[in-house]
Amino acid sequence: MKRAVIAGHIDLDVIPYFPNPVELVPGRLFEVGASQFATGGAVSNTGMTMLILGTPVTLMGKIGDDSFGSQILDILKTRQPGLEAGMTIVPGVTTSYSIVVNIPGIDRMFFHCPGANGSYVSDDVNWAKLKGASLFHFGYPAFMAAMYANGGEELTKMYKTAKSYGVTTSMDPGLPDATGPAGKVDWKGLLARTLPYCDIFMPSAEELLYMLAPEKVGKGDNLTPPELSELGSMMLGLGSAIVAVKLGSRGMYIRTASKDRLSAMGASAPEDLSGWANLEMIFPIYKEECFRGATGAGDSSIGGFLSAMLRGYNLHDAGLFAAAVGACNVEAPDSLGGIKTWEETNARIKAEWETKAIENNDPSWKKDSQGVWIKK
């Protein structure tokens, strides 16, 4: 089976349990339940989702030698002995952590310390591990100061090097902090230099707007089909072969390039290009049994999509599988507790699992029997 290398941002998530809705008011004390500790960040959320789905993965992250770093190593070891071997441990450096606030009835909030992730550079990738791998996925460069410094010099260098190993490359960029150094970066210029070496670009709608159309920030989950098509065209024009935009509760928009560009994707290029090339689709989400939290939902859907692609699915089925994995994710408060195995997830899909309808009045699109909108 094809192996994936998942690198980039990893942290420890501290997730207190909120039994009731509260309004965060300065000076107040709110009683909460027990805290859950879980690994977070793209390395954990996407990488371990793929592992649960049966995809062989090698994880690569950077942590400190503190108690939070030790907890990350223990969690990885418990999941699969040896999984922790890809962590680079830096003495005297703080391990990244996030306090995840999941208050019932409102979207989650994060209080995040970048820690060791801030110094991650191209040389922190164990390039020897890419030999024999089919996919290299990197997550959250927008949270990693050394990666976006100097116009993203390290990020571009890393993707160029990854492509030299013949692997397919993908990226989940993360949302830059508008008030910090990442907010001063020319992200459009950075992407123009990097995406020719990145085969699959998988931002959220808000991330994409921040980087390409900042005047529309805040509109991410409500983008119209023509606006999505325009953004998709821009991304393909910058060099990617596949653009997948996470739309929150509205699902995922995916657009693909020509057969020539797809065939140049490397080790994970689709064998049947007719099921992938020159397509544009909007995928609905599946109805969850019980919503417990959206932590890592986007990362999990990415893991689902990449796993399906590595197993030879066509675009339509890979997109639906990604939606299914994302729905499983929100049925647990942490990023991995709701993820099912490959077989269990497919069983839910085949059991006529209902999708949530997406409104689309644009006549240039048609909806199929599974609720997927396809550009005519």
Q: Among 306, 227, 270, which Cα is nearest to 49's?
A: 306
E-strand ranges in the chain read 4-8, 11-16, 35-40, 57-64, 87-90, 97-101, 109-113, 135-139, 168-172, 200-201, 242-246, 252-256, 280-283, 365-367, 373-375
Phi, psi of 17 (to 5 degrees): -90, 125
Superfamily for the 4-22+33-375 domain: Ribokinase (3.40.1190.20)
Judged by DSSP in three states, 125 sits in: coil
- Which pLDDT score, from 0 to 100, does residue 205 have? 93
Which residue in the block uniquely carries the two structure tokens 């230099």?
193
In angstroms, the CA 268 to CA 1 distance is 11
Residue ranges of domains in the chain: 4-22+33-375
- Torsion sign over Cα 218, 220, 221, 225: positive
As beta bridge partners, residue 99 has 14, 111
In angstroms, the CA 328 to CA 192 distance is 34
Rounded mean pLDDT for each run of 10 residues along the chain, 376 residues in total: 96 88 85 87 95 97 96 94 94 93 78 92 95 97 95 97 98 92 94 97 94 86 90 95 92 96 96 95 91 83 97 97 93 85 95 88 92 93
Task: Give the chain's count of helices (H) and strands (E).
Answer: 10, 15
- Which pLDDT score, from 0 to 100, does residue 243 have? 97
Provide the residue type at 131 as one letter. Answer: K
In angstroms, the CA 325 to CA 298 distance is 9
Q: How far is CA 290 from the centre of its chain?
A: 22
Integer-rounded Cα radius of gyration of the chain: 19
- Which pLDDT score, from 0 to 100, does residue 30 have? 85
In angstroms, the CA 171 to CA 176 distance is 14
- Which pLDDT score, from 0 to 100, does residue 107 have? 74
- Which pLDDT score, from 0 to 100, does residue 219 have? 82
DSSP state of 366: E
Element (H, E) at 291: none
User: What is the CB neighbour count within 10 angstroms for residue 56?
Assistant: 13
| Claim: this prediction has a pTM higher than 0.85 | yes
In angstroms, the CA 375 to CA 282 distance is 9
In angstroms, the CA 79 to CA 85 distance is 13
Return the structure tokens found at 129.
Answer: 């591990």
Crossing angle for the helix pair 187-194 and 145-164, to the nearest 10 degrees: 20
- Which pLDDT score, from 0 to 100, does residue 108 have? 74
User: What is the CB neighbour count within 10 angstroms for residue 224?
Assistant: 12
Q: Among 27, 32, 2, which Cα is nearest to 16's?
A: 32
